[in-house]
Amino acid sequence: MLNSWKLKEIVLMSLFGVVFGIIYLLFIHLGNIWAGLIGPIAYEWMFGIWFIVSIICMHIIRKPGAAFLPETLAAIIEVMLGNAVGPRLILSGVIQGLGAEAAFAVTRYRHFNIFVFMLAGIGAAVFSFIYGYFVSGYAALDPSFVALMFTLRVLSGAIIAGIGGKYIGDALLATGSLRGYAIAKPAARDANA
Amino acid sequence: MRNLLHDMNPSIKFITVTIAMLGLAFFFNPWTPLLFFFSIIVLQLCCSRMDWKIWSLFMLPFAFGAFGYLWTTIVFAAETGGTVIWSAFGFDVTDEQWALALSLSFRVLAFSSLSLLFALTTDPVRFVMSLMQQLKLSPKLAYGVLVGYQFLPVLKDEFFQIQQAHRLRGAAVEKYWWQRLLGVRRIIIPMLAGAVRKAERAAFAMEARGFTGEPRKEYYQPVSLKLKDFGLASAILTLVIASSIAGAMLSA
């Protein structure tokens, strides 16, 4: 999978992983204090933040793996920075990355428009929720409360990660620093995206 | 003895901690996670040079989170069987609910202690080296991560630089934390643009010096894999099994 990747794309992913790793950690700590007040549902509406690096990197690089790998790298870097969520972050990073990757794989890496990005955000939300259901024991909660959590997470994935990721990617393209990447080459078949 | 956990092979430690965590997720009684939490603390007392001040500092936000779980599970519990033990604010709390709520919040504590065991005894660079050497992570990815990690102080400086540049040009100074949080939006784009350029330069420099990303047979700094790594791993997993059996017996 990595043979078609240029080194600069991999280093780019990793540096984005660092920037977003810090942001992710910041929000975990915010979320934790918040969660003390209103319980685990505190995380749900802002869950999309944790999926965003997948969408930004896929928007820029447009190669198979560009959603899964950066999320995983960001998680590894979060663990390297040292935090109390620890190694299980890598597992959740892998799962969230796979969720986002699934959406791009389903569309065969051909379309990179806002709908696919939102779908990727939803994919990450669904995958991470299934994992969270198991690890955090949501089975013990009232099904309607769990349904509310799920809806919030899916919406957050679609809006914060999908729309937000596209917005950041487009803003970056406007700075002109992405000239050597797939995002800057307008593909004829996806010109209207 | 007190270096045991610090010297443990990071990949083995990572796998052990992950398995232990997934194992604990199957238990819904309050005793299993609680016993495990204390056994991890005891393990750290005898096998590590833990800085307990830092440990408590990291643990504090998770104690908050655990409290959130406690009351959410009481208010929004799935089952309402069992006998009512007390009622407050119009909620009847049954013994089953109470046990479940305690279980989920102790689970948060147990997971955090396990994570801190990893985080506070593992050298980050050695962890990535070990991922590459023992778990066959692609060298391209491993060195990519290390480059990112080394850029951390540079990115930090850049963050302050951009912030100061904004102030110089008369951008509003954020007074409250939520304003600062929204202001991140204005900083993130220049930060990422800078990151793109740095990535490009770093990748060119690596390739110019002959980095191909091919897997190697030998490493400059090998991370060792010894018998005692497996010993320690099985000790931790034994703690999981012991606390789950003891927990099941205590709550029966």
Per domain, the residue ranges of chain B are 4-122+225-251, 137-208
Mean pLDDT computed over A10-27? 88
Task: Find the radius of gyration of the CA atoms of chain A.
Answer: 16
Probe site for chain A from B70, B96, B141, B160 (most A CB atoms < 10 A): B141
Question: Which range among A6-10, A141-145, A147-151, B9-13 shows the weakest confidence by mean pLDDT?
Answer: A141-145
Mean pLDDT computed over B162-168? 87
Q: Dump pLDDT digits (tens) for A56-74.
A: 999 999 999 999 999 999 9
Confidence of residue A84 (pLDDT cuts 50, 70, 90): low
Residue A116 tokens read as 């696919």
Residue B79 has pLDDT above 70, yes or no: no
With beta carbons under 8 A apart, name residues in chain A contacting B68.
Answer: 35-40, 42
Residue B140 has pLDDT above 80, yes or no: yes
Contacts of B10 (CB under 8 A, 6+ apart): B122, B123, B126, B127, B130, B131, B223
Residue B209: the pLDDT is 92
Residue B144 has pLDDT above 80, yes or no: yes
Minimum-distance CB partner of A32 among B62, B79, B141: B62
Q: Hunting for tokens 């896929």 — which residue is that?
A: A58
Q: How far apart are CA B179 and CA B223, in angstroms?
A: 45
CA of B192 to nearest chain A CA: how many angstroms apart?
Answer: 7
State the alpha helices, DSSP H only, in B151-221: 152-168, 177-208
Residue A186 has pLDDT above 70, yes or no: no
A46 touching B, CB under 8 A? no
Domains and CATH numbers, chain A: 2-187 (1.10.1760)
Residue of A nearest to B23 (CA): A135
Residue B123 has pLDDT above 80, yes or no: yes
Residue B235 exposed, middle or buried by CB count within 10 Å (0-12, 13-18, 19+): middle
Probe site for chain A from B67, B120, B149, B211 (most A CB atoms < 10 A): B149
Phi, psi of A115 (to 5 degrees): -70, -40
Residue B90: the pLDDT is 64
CB A52 within 8 A of CB A20: yes
pTM comes to 0.85
CA of B11 to nearest chain A CA: how many angstroms apart?
Answer: 10
What is the residue-averaged pLDDT of chain A?
A: 86
B19 touching A, CB under 8 A? no
What is the residue-averaged pLDDT of chain B?
A: 86
Residue A30 tokens read as 């915010």
Mean pLDDT computed over B31-40? 93
Residue A192: the pLDDT is 47
Residue B82: the pLDDT is 65
Residue A52: the pLDDT is 93
Mean pLDDT computed over A127-144? 86
Residue B1 has pLDDT above 80, yes or no: no
Q: Dump pLDDT digits (tens) for B170-228.
A: 776 667 777 776 777 788 899 999 999 999 999 999 999 988 888 777 888 888 888 99
Residue A35 has pLDDT above 60, yes or no: yes
Residue A190 has pLDDT above 70, yes or no: no
| Contacting A residues, span 92-121, partner chain B, CB-CB under 8 Å | none
Mean pLDDT computed over A34-43? 75
With beta carbons under 8 A apart, name residues in chain A contacting B149.
Answer: 18, 77, 80
The number of beta carbons lying within 10 Å of the beta carbon of residue A107 is 15
Minimum-distance CB partner of B61 among A6, A12, A32: A32
Q: Dump pLDDT digits (tens) for B50-62.
A: 889 988 988 887 7
ipTM: 0.84
CB A193 within 8 A of CB A111: yes
Contacts of B175 (CB under 8 A, 6+ apart): none
Residue A120 tokens read as 């990727």
CA of B110 to nearest chain A CA: how many angstroms apart?
Answer: 11
Mean pLDDT computed over B6-23? 91
Residue B230: the pLDDT is 94
The more confident residue out of A187 and B16 is B16
Residue B229 has pLDDT above 80, yes or no: yes
Mean pLDDT computed over B108-120? 88
Residue A191: the pLDDT is 47
Vertex B13: Cα angle to B11 and B18 (nearest 5): 95
Q: How far apart are CA B33 and CA B240, in angstroms?
A: 9
Residue B164 tokens read as 């100061």
